[in-house]
Amino acid sequence: MNKIASVIFIFSIISTTLNSQISSPEIDKLVENALLKFNVAGTSVAIVKDDKIVHKKGYGVKSLETKLPVDENTNFGIASNSKAFTAVALALLVEDGKIKWEDKVIQHIPEFKMYNDYVTQNFNIQDLLTHRSGLGLGIGDLMLFPDSSNFTIDDILSSFQYFKPSSAFRTKFDYDNLLYIVAGELIARVSGASWESFVQERILNPLKMDHSFSSLKGMNDKSNLSSPHSTFSGTLKTIPESEEMINGAAGGIISNVDDLCVWMLLHLNKGKYGENLEKQLFTEESLREMWRIHTPLTAKNEPRYNTHFSGYGLGWFLKDMNGKLCVTHTGYVAGMLSITLMIPDINLGIIVLTNTEMGGSDVFQAVSKTILDSYLKLPYFDWTADIYTKSQANKNDDSDKVKEVWNTVEKNKKIELKKLDYIGTYQDVWFGEIEIYEHENQLWFKSLRSPLLTGPMAFYNEEKGKETTFAIKWKTPDLGADAFAVFTFNKNGKVENIKMKGISEDIDFSYDFQDLLFTKTPKKD
C-alpha cells in the first residue's frame, strides 16, 4: 500500500468511526493492510449485530502452496475457542440432570488424583474449567505439544499428583489445558459418548453448523480447509496440520466464520436459536453461569475502555469495556490463531480466524479492536500501526537475546567435553524417559514419548563441578521452542539430573520445560 492510499485509508476509517459503524469496504481495506503488515497468509472475519450477520468474508489464501483464496466457509482450527463448546456440553449434562456443577470430579473419574488429598477430594467440575487449580501456567502441556506424542488420558489423569502447585487452590488464575482434557473425559464417562460425538450430536448438528467438525477425522471433504503456516524459520511457509489431541475439549474444533456467526448469535440470544428463536439449546440460567466470573483477574489498565474488572467464567474471559460486558476468548494451536469477541449489551459479535503463527494474533487483535472501536463509537486509533510497532520491538529484543545465546555456543565450539559423563537415560515422573546419546560426534537429546523433541545439543556454559548447560536446537525448527538443558552434578562429580527451560523469553507457555526434572537412570547390569 503506497503512502497516498494509506492516508486515504486512514481518513476513511477515521470518518467511519466518528460517524457510524465501519463498513464492509473499509473492513476489506483494514484486513488487507493487516495481512501485508504482519505477513499472514489468510484470514476470515465476521460480524453479527442485532441478530443479523452484517459482514462475513475471507481474505488472503488458504495455502501458499495452492494459492486458493479464503472464503467465509473456509475452515480453520479454532483452538482454545473450543473451550466454550466444552462448557456448553457440560451445561447440557447439568440440564439433563446427569451432573451438577458442584459434583466432585472423583465422583465421575475415581482415579483422578491431584497434588494433595484435600484438593483431590474437593476438586469439582467447575474447577476443571476455571484455571484456578493452584498449578502453574500451562503445566503438563508438553504431553499435548508438540503433537505426535503417545500420551494417553490415563497418563494425564495420573500426572497431576506429581505437579508442584504454584499457588493455593482456588486463589489464583493460571491458564490450563490438561484439565479441559479431563473435562472431555468426564463428558464421555457421564454421557456414554466421546467428547467429539457429544459435541457433534448435541451442539453442532442442532445448530446446523454443518461445516464445523469436532475433529479433523470427522471431515470427509478437506477441500476448503485452511493450511497452517509459520514464520518461525524466517520465511512464511506451510507447516503440517496438528494431529488430534487425546480429546478435543481444550482445542479440537474445526469451523468457519459462517458457522461461528450462528454460535455467537446463540449466546447473544441466551441459548435460543432458529428462524424465530423458537428453539433453545441451553437455558438463560446456564448462560449466566458460564458468563459469571469464577476466577477474578487483575483488570489491565485500559483507559481507552475504562476497564474496571476482569475474570474468567466457564470457557470465557470476561471484563467491562466502557460500562459494557465483554465476553471473549482467543485460540492458538500451531499455525491457527483466532479470537471470538461479544458485547451482549449492544448485541455485537466479532470473529476473526487466521492461519499463520506469529503474525496471526497481531492480525486478529488489530482487526477486532478496530471493528470494536467503531461500534463503541470511540475516536479512531490505528491499532495496526500500534501493534506492529510493539510486536517488532518485542521480536527484535527477544531475537537479540536468542542470537546472543547461539553466538556464545559458536564461540564455545572448541571446548572439549567428556561426552560419556552425560550419555544415558533420564526419567521425569510425568513426562517419562529421555535419552542423551552421541551422534556424529555431538550429543543429542531425544524424548521417547514425544519424538519431535529430538535435536543436537551444543555446549553453552558451565559452573565447574556444579552444572553444565547445553542449548538444544530441535530438528523441527517451526516449533519455535529451542531449550536449555542444565545438567547438575552430585558431590561425587557425577551427573545427577537435568533441568530445562526455554531459550526464548517469548516461548509459548505450553512448552513448560521448566516443570521437568529428569533423574539419571542407573545402568542395567
CATH of domain 419-520: 2.40.128
Q: Cα dihedral angle (403, 408, 409, 415), rounded to 10 degrees?
A: 170
> What is the per-residue pLDDT for 525?
54
CATH of domain 3-81+210-381: 3.40.710.10
- CA-to-CA distance for 250 and 315, rounded, in angstroms? 10
The strand ranges marked E within 347-423 are 348-354
Is there a contact between 26 and 59 (Cβ–Cβ < 8 Å)? no
> What is the per-residue pLDDT for 524?
67
User: What one-character DSSP code corresponds to residue 521?
Assistant: P
> What is the per-residue pLDDT for 233?
82
pTM comes to 0.94
Which stretches of the chain drop beneath a pLDDT of 50? Answer: 1-19
In the chain, list all ranges with CATH 2.40.128: 419-520
In the chain, list all ranges with CATH 3.40.710.10: 3-81+210-381
Q: If residue 387 lies in a helix (H) or strand (E), which one and from where to where?
A: helix 383-411
Q: If residue 445 lies in a helix (H) or strand (E), which one and from where to where?
A: strand 442-447
Is there a contact between 178 and 143 (Cβ–Cβ < 8 Å)? yes
- The sheet that has 336-343: what strands, in order across it? 52-60, 42-49, 348-354, 336-343, 324-333, 317-321, 310-312, 295-297
What is the grid cell recorded at 326? 465483554
Is there a contact between 113 and 161 (Cβ–Cβ < 8 Å)? yes
- CB burial of residue 382 (10 Å; 0-12, 13-18, 19+): middle
Q: Which of 307, 259, 355 is nearest to 48 (CA)?
A: 259
Q: If residue 402 lies in a helix (H) or strand (E), which one and from where to where?
A: helix 383-411
Cβ contacts of 157 within 8 Å, gap of 6 or more: 109, 111, 112, 113, 182, 185
